[in-house]
Each structure stands twice: as structure tokens, then as C-alpha cells.
Amino acid sequence: MRSLYEDLPDVEIGGRKLVGRVLFGLLVLLSALIGATAGLVLVYTTDLPQIDALEAYRPSSITEIYDDHGRVVGSFALQRRVVASYDDFPPVLRDALVSIEDKDFYRHSGINFWRIVGAAYRDIESGGKVQGASTLTMQLARNLFLSPDRSFHRKVQEAMLAIQIERHFTKPQIFTLYANQIFLGHGVYGFEAASEYYFSKPAKQLTLDEAAMLAGLPKGPGVYSPINHPDRAVKRRNLVINAMLEDGKITAAQAEAARNAPLVLHLAHDPNSLSPYFVEEIRRYLEAKYGADQVHEGGLKVYTSLDVDMQKAANQAVLDGVAAYERRHGWKGHLENISDEGVPLEKYSHPDWDDESEVGGYVHALVTAAGPGIATLKFGRYTAALGQADVVWTGQKIANILKTGDICYVKILSLGANGAAKVSLEQDSGTQGALLAIDNTTGGIKALVGGRDFNDSKFDRATQALRQVGSSFKPYVYTTVIDQGATPDDTILDEPVSFETPSGPYSPHNYDEKFEGIITLRRALAQSRNIPALKLANKVGIKEVIDYAARFGITAKLPPYLPVALGSAEITLLEQTSAYSVFPNDGVRIIPRYITRVTDYEGRVMEEDFPEVKDVIGERTARIMTSMLREVVLHGTGIAAAKLPFPVAGKTGTTNDFTDAWFVGFSATMTCGVWVGYDEKKSLGAKETGARAALPIWMNFMSAAMAGKDPGQFEPPPAMVHSVAQKLDTPDNAPETDESH
């Protein structure tokens, strides 16, 4: 039988064999490619994160602190982010971002093949790495799960993750994740936070030119920063506008108007700068209770007792009061000079300049030029000039006190739109002031100033500093006596006296080195006479007085020595102020509190703080003491406060050698304490008493704090039977003597 191929030509048979071999080779090559691809996919996907994790993903967000009216007063964050929904991002922002970053976002399935091929070709041609072809979804995958390196390995993983993300989520969900995650410069993450930071408004209110500027930032937040590189930011913004025009998202007229719009920023104030010492107290408490991660990444909402308006008044009162003290004591000089440190003038920036300048504020300014009769200054984006008339209080020529490169301290009197400012020369020689105000009804801390400059010193002199309280301790002595049955009209002999102590005789004196003879307890407290206070403490026992102070909330360990009655004890301003609130509260002390409520990211209440009340003294004693402390204001050492248009009471305090000046006082609704001094035990100077250094600050604050509010009235003390008044320094059962001056 003949073969089927016998009649075919040899050439045709050979050709068919060749085709078969080629096909076989192609099949082998295809199998190899498929195997290699499968191997590569296996290699690149073995360490990919599970996309299911994205369903439960919650970005790190800001923990915000609110005052008692819901105004933001501070925040904590590792990444300053405000999480927003898809509808919170206006169409103009969505269009701008898609036009410049990923034109086919709503059409592709995670990757744009032709962009990748084009970018790869360009990079191979230039010898670079694969880059510049990422879709929004690929950028999201990289930001969430991958490293920022530009290797081929990472690019493949990025594409694979992007495909998985597109399979699991809708386009609005992907856009929302991206818009909340992306870094946009200056510590800001996400477009909602960026809108609030750069323009001080929510993203929903962005104009076309503003939206275009923000949309241009993802490519290079540092390179296109509108703060550091405004020219680059404008060019990038206009590129975004052109891309929107090409895509038909805006009209030519809209594009022209937006391109010609000036770059106008309204940078948000750092909320922490208003009450930094208060915010720091909150941070320490929250981190101790919930942990640093929860506080800085968990997006907590912390509602506090602070009042923004009162805090502003407190800041101003302390700064103005300390500045007035500085002026009373003349120019001391010793200014830092950056030229001595080799720092170029044009590159210098002071921490004060990080916050937006405000009229009435105090900042450190750089002297950029100085000559006979004039000096020019710079602070932030403002410039100012000082003439000889502006430094008259120093008693010196301007050329003798300021030179180029000096860092001086000034008060801002006015700010012009063109960057010109008017300032007055002040001095920062290290004097400190602190203020703390408490709502009598709730115990809530309404204002807290822990020092002159938080940037310079984080030490909180309102809550952490133990300072001698001087005569502001005397009310505990009088409370002890009144609570044991005495009346304000009982008398005592103000005369030279000597007490026997374990260390020898103790012979105190009064501040004015004079003696008034027989006086009432009311006058003795009002005039802050030392001898009567010591006699009373000696009569009831200094340990008894210390026990009463402890009932008022004084936790410092007080030695049982008689000079404690005159205020040698060291107490914090917080405890001293809280203790005084017992008097207008009819003998009840409400524990001071900062926080009223804390909620988590989802709005669930984590803690809620209610006023904690403790009985200290009876209503009778409290009202009598209030009337006696009212006498301090009406006729005593605090008489300057009598001009306030509402009833107040309180007590001055001055320590030996004028190292500490105090005034702690109250209205019917508010108790406030003020301290002035140096951090080291250093004299404030002769005659710098509590009435002179601290009381004016207290009055300025209380005037502002009570403005427009009902200050209330003090309840009258119970009627006293004057005929039974007694002479309290007479020994029990001993005949009274007829002594006078």
C-alpha cells in the first residue's frame, strides 16, 4: 500500500515539518512566558497586604479640644487630618484633582495601561526608573500599603493592589479614601484639613482658583507650597486650571478669571497658641488615661470648661501687667544678637512668628537696621520702625539700646494690610506672671495662663509652681477663728510681741513697721496686719490652722511653725484659687476640673465629668469671711479693686523681699488668682507688693470676664451681736488690760 505522502513533493513535506516545529517552539515559548508571568505574579503578591484590611481602615485623625461654647482651642495629631465624606469635597475640587492627576479615573479599572507604557518608554529612553504613570487608585495603594521607593518591584505591587481596590470599592469610595489620605504639606493630610489650614474654611466653600491650587499639591507638597514658594504654586495652579479647561470642566471665561486671581491665603491660627498651658494639661491627662496613640491618632473629641473669650482676656491682662512692671524698673538691655551667632538676617525666623500676629500681642522682633534716632524691625511678614519718642521710657538714646541683629520685645499696636506695623518697645527680663480663673458654680477652669511665653518655657506656673503665698494665707487663720465662734468685730491688740519657738524668740513686725493698738478682726485682715494674724494663729494653734487649710484643698505639706500664718508656706496658684472659691460658695468647695466630656472617633462617650462637691466650712463662717474679704477691697490693701462696677472680695499677698506678689479674689460667680514673680527666688524690687504687681492684672481680667454678664451679689452674713465682742489676744479667764498704742 502506498504512503499518503508518496505523491507529494519533498519541498512541500519539508515546509510542513518546518511550520510544525515553529508552532511547537512558539507554544513552548508561550508556556514559558505564562510560567514566568505566573512566577512573577506569585513573587510579587506573596507579601501584598490583604485588601480586606482596607474595609476596616480608618486614617489617623486629629484629636480636637473644644471650649465650653464648642470652639476649638487645641488639637493633637501625628498627621493633621480632618476625615471628610465624598460629598464634603465639592465638584470643583474633584474635577480639578481628576483633571491633573488621573483623567480616566472614572473609566479605568485601577491602572492606565497606555500611561504605564508611555512612562516606561520615556524612562527606559532616559535610563530612569518607572515613574509618572500612577492613577489615583495606584497612589492610594502606595500611600496606604507600600513604600515610596520607585522600583519596578513596587510598581508591579502597586498596580496589583490598585486592581484589587477597584474590585472591592466604588469610585466615590476610592476618591474619598485618597482625598483623606494624601499629604498636602506643612503637616497637613487630606483636602479638608488642607482647606482649613490654607484658607480657614471647609472644602465645600472652595473657589475654583483655591481648589486648583490644592489639587496641584499632591505632585510635590514642598515644591509647590503656597507659603514657601508662591510663584511655583501659582504656576502649578494655572496648569491645573488649563487641564480642567481641556477636559471641558470649566469655561474659557472661568479659566481666565481663575488664572488671573491673586494667590490669597488665610492661614489658620494654631489653636494651641491661645491657651497652650491649658492644652498641655489636657494632653498630660489624656495620655496618662488613654495612651499616646489614642490621643494623637484616635480622633477624640474633648470638651472642656475653658472659655475662649476669658482666655484671651487673661492672656492680655498678664502680658500687659508684666510689661507695666518691666517699664517701672527701667531698661536692662542684654539683648540677644543673631549677628554674633553668625546667622544671616534674611534667614532668621523666631518661633513667635509661626503664629499669626494680632494687635495687642507681644512678639520678639529682629532689628534689621539701626541708626541715630530710628530702628527698623521685622517680625513675620511685618515691618515696623521705632523712633526716639517710642523709647522715652528707657531713658536712653535709641542708638545706645538697639543695634542691627538684636532680638527685641515689642507690643503690636496696629497691623497694616501692606505689611507695615506700629509697635512699642517693651522688655522681657525674665519676669513671669500666672493667672487662673474658676467658675464658682461648676468648678470649671475658665482661663489659665501658666507663664509669659509657652515657646520659651513649658513650665506651668499656675499648676506646677510652689510659691510662698504671703498674706494671702491669712484668710485660713481668720476662718479658723471665726469658725470657732469669733466675730469680725472682736478686737485684738496690734503691738510689739515676741513668741518663744524651739529655735529661740521670734519677734515679727508689720509691713509698715507701725502698730495700731486695739483693732477689730475685720480691720486687721483688711489692713493685712501681721501681729494680729500671728496672735490668732498662736491662740488657736498653728496645727489647727494647717488642718483648716487642708480642708480647703491645700495639699502641700505645711510645717507646724508660726510663720506659716504669714504665708511662708509654698502653695500652687491652682490650689490657692480653688480654696478661695469656698467663700462665695457658702462653704462648699467644688473640685477644679478641665474636662466635661470625652468622645471617641464614632461619637461614643468615653468619660463624662460632673462637679465633685466637698463641704469645707459652714454657711455662717463662709459669709462672714466673704464680708471680711470684701472689706479688704473696700477699705484695705486691695482698695484699687473697689472701682470695679460689681462687688468683689479678695486678699493681697506679698512675701519677704518682694519675691512673690499675689492677689486672689472673687465675685459671686468667678474666683481668680494672679501671681507675679521670677522663676528663681529673686526680688521684684522695693514696694512691688501684691497690690501693685498682681492686683492690676486681676482687675483687668475680671473687668473683661464679667463684661455683659450678671456678676451676682454676695449673700449678707448673719446678724452679729456686737455687745458680746471679745478681746481675742487676752488669755482665757484673765482680766483684760487697758492697752493702747
Q: What digits encode the pLDDT tens for the residues 379-399? A: 988 999 999 999 999 999 999
Shared domain check, 478 and 376:
no
Average confidence (pLDDT) over 255-272: 88
Cross-strand partners of 382: 379
Average confidence (pLDDT) over 405-431: 94
Catalytic residue among 305, 471, 472, 528: 471
Q: What share of the chain is helix, strand, coil (3-state, %, to 5)?
A: 45, 20, 40
Q: Is residue 70 part of a domain?
A: no
684 has a pLDDT exceeding 70: yes
122 has a pLDDT exceeding 50: yes
pLDDT tens per residue, range 494-552: 999 999 888 888 899 999 899 999 999 999 999 999 999 999 999 999 999 999 999 99
Q: Is residue 297 part of a domain?
A: no
Of 28-37, 640-649, 675-684, the range with the lowest mean pLDDT is: 28-37
Distance CA 499, CA 497 (A): 7
Shared domain check, 229 and 96:
yes
Query: pLDDT value at position 127?
Result: 52
Cross-strand partners of 517: 494
Q: Is residue 129 part of a domain?
A: yes
41 has a pLDDT exceeding 50: no
Average confidence (pLDDT) over 38-62: 58
- Please tell me which residue, 703 or 741, carries the higher pLDDT value: 703
pLDDT tens per residue, range 432-473: 999 999 999 999 999 999 999 998 899 999 999 999 999 999
Distance CA 351, CA 347 (A): 13
- Residue finishing a domain among 428, 444, 471: 428
Cα–Cα distances (Å) from 610 to 594, 669, 730, in that order, read: 11, 18, 47
Shared domain check, 608 and 622:
yes
Catalytic residue among 61, 99, 101, 528: 101
How many domains, the chain?
4
Query: pLDDT value at position 725?
Result: 52
Query: pLDDT value at position 730?
Result: 53
741 has a pLDDT exceeding 60: no
Query: pLDDT value at position 658?
Result: 96
Query: pLDDT value at position 161?
Result: 82
Shared domain check, 233 and 180:
yes
Shared domain check, 207 and 249:
yes
Q: Tell me the pLDDT band of 3, cut-offs 50, 70 and 90.
A: very low
- To which H or E segment does residue 578 belong? helix 573-580
pLDDT tens per residue, range 592-613: 999 999 999 889 999 999 999 9
Which stretches of 329-448 are DSSP H helices? 398-401
Q: Please provide the size of the chain in residues.
A: 741
pLDDT tens per residue, range 496-507: 999 988 888 889
Q: Which of 272, 276, 275, 300 is nearest to 286 (CA)?
A: 300
275 has a pLDDT exceeding 60: yes
Question: Residue 602 catalytic?
Answer: no
Shared domain check, 705 and 621:
yes
Query: pLDDT value at position 732?
Result: 41
CATH number of the CATH domain containing 559: 3.40.710.10
Please tell me the number of Cα atoms within 13 Å of 607 on its side-chain side. 14
Shared domain check, 140 and 110:
yes
Q: Tell me the pLDDT band of 45, cut-offs 50, 70 and 90.
A: very low
152 has a pLDDT exceeding 70: no
Secondary structure of residue 468 in the 3-state scheme: strand
Bridge pairing between strands 301-304 and 63-66 = parallel
Q: Is residue 586 within 8 Å of residue 604, measured between CB atoms?
A: no
Shared domain check, 684 and 593:
yes
Q: Is residue 290 part of a domain?
A: no
Secondary structure of residue 430 in the 3-state scheme: coil
With 0-12 CB in 10 A as exposed, 13-18 as middle and 19+ as buried, what is 575?
buried
90 has a pLDDT exceeding 80: yes
Secondary structure of residue 499 in the 3-state scheme: strand
- Residue finishing a domain among 222, 238, 272: 272
65 has a pLDDT exceeding 70: yes
CATH number of the CATH domain containing 419: 2.40.50.140
Displacement of CA 741 from its chain's centroid (Å)? 55
Q: Which of 661, 733, 660 is nearest to 695 (CA)?
A: 661
Shared domain check, 596 and 474:
yes
Q: Is residue 541 part of a domain?
A: yes
53 has a pLDDT exceeding 50: yes
Question: Residue 3 catalytic?
Answer: no
Query: pLDDT value at position 40?
Result: 45
Q: Is residue 321 part of a domain?
A: no
Cross-strand partners of 675: 434, 662
Dihedral angle computed from the Cα positions of residues 131, 137, 142 and 146, in that order, rounded to the nearest 10 degrees: -120
Bridge pairing between strands 432-439 and 467-468 = unpaired
Distance CA 698, CA 635 (A): 18
Average confidence (pLDDT) over 413-421: 91
pLDDT tens per residue, range 91-111: 999 999 999 988 988 888 767
Average confidence (pLDDT) over 13-41: 59
Shared domain check, 439 and 417:
no
pLDDT tens per residue, range 320-362: 999 999 999 999 988 999 988 888 888 898 888 877 788 999 9
Q: Is residue 625 part of a domain?
A: yes
Q: Is residue 63 part of a domain?
A: no
Shared domain check, 440 and 422:
no
Instruction: Provide the residue range defining the domain that includes 412.
Output: 330-428
27 has a pLDDT exceeding 90: no
Average confidence (pLDDT) over 561-575: 95
Which stretches of 381-529 are DSSP H helices? 398-401, 474-483, 521-526
Shared domain check, 646 and 501:
yes
- Residue finishing a domain among 272, 290, 314: 272
